[in-house]
């Protein structure tokens, strides 16, 4: 990141967009590998045996857990949101306890690309039309504008994006690294220890907070008699989610975050369960 300042204008150049056009996230490589996996493993075998076994492995990381949940998902729309940690339709129905179903499916999913494209191109298209503009760029703009800073994203230059979009997949995903063409271009200009280090995000330790200082808060909102959502979601499933996370049997950070916010919404506005 670089900053140029004058009397009136501060400008920040950021790397936002590089991952979404060059395949920088682990899920981009995982989606390509999962395509091979789905061609070899029947859905029933994945859902009923392999995925539960993979998720139950001791020491399984959050990324491994996400792969186990998402790799065998046949529906493209469900798989794309599952890579972000959202529930699949099966998991949603389990949490609802079979008492209710969602009235809207993903058949009219707005971010779908041609099924003839490669797995990598399809997931990149999803990111470029959803996650990037509706999350990263929106948040970045809010944060920078709060400090009267103008942000510029050089990786999202229209001509550059157009050029990169025409490249074969191997220029994005190398044998060992993502964003391969960018690494090749920067070789000799950026130190090797920086060029080849693992991807480092700006992660907040929410998962550990839910297991530690916020564990009582989580149990009060999701597992106690005061919980509103417990009246219309599966109490057994809620207990299982909290227990598995606390015991490190699974990483339910994003799901617990979503459930907590739903419960807080009910309490804040004194809303009862849906009718």
β-bridge pairing 150-152 and 10-13: parallel
Give residue-wise pLDDT tens across range 133-189: 999 999 999 999 998 898 999 999 999 999 999 999 999 998 888 999 999 999 999
**Distance of alpha carbon 129 from alpha carbon 121, whole angstroms:** 12
Residue 98 has pLDDT above 70, yes or no: no
Annotate 214-228 with b (16+ C-beta within 10 A) or e (fewer): eeeebbebbbeeebb
**Distance of alpha carbon 192 from alpha carbon 189, whole angstroms:** 9
Give residue-wise pLDDT tens across range 54-80: 777 765 567 777 888 888 888 888 899
- Please report, for the chain, the start and end positions of each structural domain, with discontinuous segments joined by +: 1-200, 206-268
Model pTM score: 0.80
More confident residue, 65 or 28: 28
Give residue-wise pLDDT tens across range 205-264: 999 999 999 999 999 999 999 999 999 999 999 999 999 999 988 889 999 999 999 999
Is residue 69 within 8 Å of residue 55, measured between CB atoms? yes
CA dihedral sign of residues 24, 28, 30, 32: negative
Question: Which residues neighbour 208 within 8 Å (Cβ) at sequence distance 6 or greater?
Answer: none
Query: Which spans in the chain are helix H?
Result: 18-22, 26-40, 43-45, 51-55, 62-70, 76-82, 89-96, 119-126, 137-146, 158-165, 180-186, 192-195, 206-211, 215-222, 235-246, 253-268
> Which band of pLDDT confidence, cut at 50, 70 and 90, is reported for residue 93?
confident
Residue 4 has pLDDT above 60, yes or no: no
**Distance of alpha carbon 143 from alpha carbon 203, whole angstroms:** 17
**Distance of alpha carbon 127 from alpha carbon 263, whole angstroms:** 29
């Amino acid at each position: 990141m670089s900053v140029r300042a004058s009397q009136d204008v501060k400008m920040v150049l950021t790397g936002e967009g590089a991952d979404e056009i060059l395949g920088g996230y682990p899920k981009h490589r995982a989606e390509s590998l999962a395509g091979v996996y789905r061609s070899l493993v029947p859905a029933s075998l994945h859902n009923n045996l392999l995925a539960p076994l993979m998720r139950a492995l001791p020491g399984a990381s959050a990324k491994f857990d996400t792969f186990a949940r998402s790799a065998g998902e046949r529906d493209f729309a469900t798989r794309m949101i599952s890579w972000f940690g959202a529930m699949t339709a099966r998991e949603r129905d389990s949490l609802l306890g079979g008492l209710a179903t969602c009235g809207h499916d993903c058949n009219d999913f707005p971010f779908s690309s041609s099924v003839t494209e490669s797995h990598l191109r399809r997931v990149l298209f999803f990111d470029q039309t959803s996650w990037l503009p509706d999350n990263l760029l929106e948040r970045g703009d809010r944060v920078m504008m709060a400090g009267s800073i103008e942000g510029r994203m050089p990786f999202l230059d229209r001509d550059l994006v157009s050029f990169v979009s025409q490249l074969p997949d191997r220029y994005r995903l190398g044998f060992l690294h993502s964003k391969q063409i960018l690494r090749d271009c920067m070789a000799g200009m950026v130190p090797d220890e920086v060029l080849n280090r693992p991807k480092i995000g700006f992660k907040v330790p929410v998962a550990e907070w839910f297991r530690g200082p916020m564990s009582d808060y989580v149990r009060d909102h999701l597992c106690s008699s005061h919980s509103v959502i417990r009246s219309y979601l599966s109490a057994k499933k809620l207990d299982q989610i909290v227990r598995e996370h606390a015991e490190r049997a699974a990483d339910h950070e994003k799901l617990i975050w979503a459930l907590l916010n739903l419960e807080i919404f009910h309490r804040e506005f004194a809303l009862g369960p849906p009718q």
